[in-house]
Amino acid sequence: MSVNPYPQLPHTKGNDVMQNVVPTASIKAIRVLEQGTISSVYSLTVDTTFIEIAAVTAGAAMRWVRLAETEASIVTVIAGANFEHVIPLGTVRQFAVPIETMYQAPSSMVGARVQNGLFARVAVKSLTALGSVMLTEF
For 21, half-sphere exposure in the C-beta direction (CA atoms, 13 angstrom radius) is: 13
Query: Among positive and negative, which fits the CA dihedral 78, 136, 92, 13?
Result: positive
Q: 83-106: per-residue pLDDT in tens?
A: 999 999 999 999 999 999 876 655
Q: 48-66: per-residue pLDDT in tens?
A: 999 999 999 999 999 999 9
Per-chain mean pLDDT for the chain: 85
What is the average pLDDT across 20-29?
Answer: 78
What is the average pLDDT across 9-29?
Answer: 79
Asked if CATH classification 2.60.120 holds for the domain at 29-103+112-137, the reply, yes or no, is yes
What is the average pLDDT across 23-33?
Answer: 84
Q: What angle do CA 102, 62, 73 make, to 5 degrees?
A: 85
Q: Does the pLDDT value for residue 25 go beyond 90?
A: no
Where are the domains positioned within the chain?
Answer: 29-103+112-137
